Amino acid sequence: MRRRRFQTSGPALECVLRDLNQNSDWVEVGRRPLFSPQLKGSFKVASTVVGATPEHHTGGEDPNRRDFIHIAATVAAVGAAGGLAWPFIDQMNPAADTLALASVEFDLSKVETGQQVVIKWRGKPLFIRHRSGKEIASAIKDNHADLRDPQTDEERHKAGKAEWLILIGTCTHLGCVPTFGGGDYGGWFCPCHGSHYDTSGRIRKGPAPKNLAVPEYTFLSDSKVKVG
């Protein structure tokens, strides 16, 4: 009556069967019970059934043995920990109310030519610059200069709205706020590490790698923009 031990899903199935049916009649003659019936006092087993499974333990009977069940249980534990980790990480991402406040509307009519207004958007400064003709001309002139982050001036403002330049006012180097009117290119200059931007906000000199970023925005009317 000796049988090979079940190596794969057999024991799991037996175990489930046993759970479903607390009575002993699941133990078929000739099948080895997963666990000894006498371990549990209340577990009634017909002696014939037990007597019919006189299997000897072989050398591979180390309880540490990594058989299917143990591996599956371990994988499930790791999976559970991994699954729970995501909510705990995601909670640090912007909350729904933060995302909802991510757009601002601004009335441009009060910004005079040659002036710049700084407003706060997503916690950062936003430069809204009403450029003079001179500034625009200087920006266009440099479209094909040796740029670190090549972009034409047209790509940095809305079509037909060359006088309005809207930029995120943080230096692309390490996030300081550049000031207008400094530097060698008539645009912005970052006081922290000396990055020079031109009148289109393009990086021209210094450690910053990129042009000042242009946010997503739309003109709601001639004098009103919505940023974000």
Partner 1 sequence: MSGHSNYEPKSGFEKWLDVRLPIIRLGYDSLVDFPTPKNLNYWYTFGGILAVCLGIQIVTGIILAMHYVAHVDMAFASVEHIMRDVNYGWLVRYMHSNGASMFFLAVYVHMFRGLYYGSYKAPREVLWLLGCVIYMLMIITAFMGYVLPWGQMSFHGAVVITNLIGAIPVIGPAITTWLWGGFAVDDPTLNRFFSLHYLMPFMIAGVVGLHIWALHVPGNNNPAGVDVKSKEDTVPFHPYYTVKDGFAISVFLLMYAAFVFFNPNALGDAVNYVPANPLVTPAHIVPEWYLLPFYAILRAVPDKLMGVIFMGGAIAMLFLLPWLDTSKVRSMRYRPTAKLYFFIFVIVTMILGYCGGQLPDNKIIPGLTTFQVAASDLNSVVWLSRLATAYYFAYFLIILPVLGLTETPLPQPESISEPVLSHSANAPVGAAASPEKRG
Partner 2 sequence: MLRKGFALAALGLAFIGGPTLAATSQEEPKAVHWSFEGPLGKFDQAQLQRGYKVYREVCSACHSMNLMSFRNLGQKGGPFFDPEVKNPNDNPFVKSIAKDYQIDDIDSETGDVVKRPGTSADRFPNPYPNEPAARASNGGALPPDMSDLVKAREGGPAYIYSILTGYEEAPKGMAVPTGKYYNPYMPGDVSGFWSLDPNKVPIGGFIAMPPPLAPDKVTFDDGTKSTVDQQAKDVVAFLTWVSDPKTEERKSFGLAVMIYLLIFSGLLYASYRRIWANVSH
Residues that bind partner 1 (CB under 8 A): 32, 35-39, 41, 45, 47-48, 50-51, 53-57, 61, 63-64, 70, 73, 77, 87-88, 90-93, 95-98
16 lies in the site for partner 2, by CB under 8 A: yes
Could you tell me the two tokens for 192? 């922290």
Region near partner 2 per CB under 8 A, out of 8-16, 130-138, 141-149, 174-182: 8-16
Q: Given the complex with partner 2, which of 119 and 177 has the nearer CB atom? A: 119
DSSP for residue 213? P
Q: What Rg, from alpha-carbon coordinates, does the chain have?
A: 36
85 lies in the site for partner 2, by CB under 8 A: no
Alpha carbons 67 and 73: distance in angstroms, whole number: 10
Site string for partner 2, 45-84 (x = CB under 8 A): ------------x---x-x---x-xx-xx--xx-xx--x-
193 flagged as catalytic: yes
111 lies in the site for partner 2, by CB under 8 A: no
The one catalytic residue in 56, 173, 193, 196 is: 193
> Which residues neighbour 3 within 8 Å (Cβ) at sequence distance 6 or greater?
30, 31, 32, 55
Q: Given the complex with partner 2, which of 107 and 155 has the nearer CB atom? A: 107
110 lies in the site for partner 2, by CB under 8 A: yes
Could you tell me the two tokens for 156? 């940095």
What crossing angle do the helices spanning 10-20 and 68-90 adopt, rounded to 10°?
Answer: 80
103 lies in the site for partner 2, by CB under 8 A: yes
Distance of CA 129 to the CA centre of its chain: 33
| Closest to 128 (Cα-Cα) out of 138, 115, 144, 137 | 115
**Catalytic residue positions?**
193
